Amino acid sequence: MKVLTANTLSDGIAVWYSGSDWLRSINNAEIAADADAESRLTTIGALAYANNEVVDVNLIDIVVKDGKPHPTRLRERIRAEGPTIDYAGKSAAWGI
């Protein structure tokens, strides 16, 4: 299973495609469960890239845990959840 992710062009923040919009959370990302769905997401990503909405567009592997997409690679989990460290501005930035 895969979801579509990218970074917004204007501020660079990581986003995931929800089926209608690019959101800053992976939780509501549209999940592609077969090749056709993957192909559709790829097309949506390419279009958003061409329209200068997002950059660095990728389909990433996930599994579903507790009803939510969970990236299989650590890199993508860190992208989704933010740095794993308590950096100076983390509390404010992530609403902790």
Binding site for another protein (CB under 8 A): 7, 9-14, 49, 51-52, 55-56, 72-75, 78-79, 82-85, 87-90, 92-93
* Cα torsion through 60, 64, 70, 71, rounded to 10: -30
User: Cα separations (Å) of 78 from 38, 46, 50, 54, 85?
Assistant: 22, 24, 26, 19, 10
- Nearest-approach distance from CB 12 to another protein, in angstroms: 4
- Nearest-approach distance from CB 24 to another protein, in angstroms: 10
Task: Pick the closer one to another protein by CB: 34 or 72.
Answer: 72
- Nearest-approach distance from CB 36 to another protein, in angstroms: 27
∠ CA(53), CA(96), CA(23), 5° rounding?
Answer: 20
Task: Pick the closer one to another protein by CB: 34 or 61.
Answer: 61
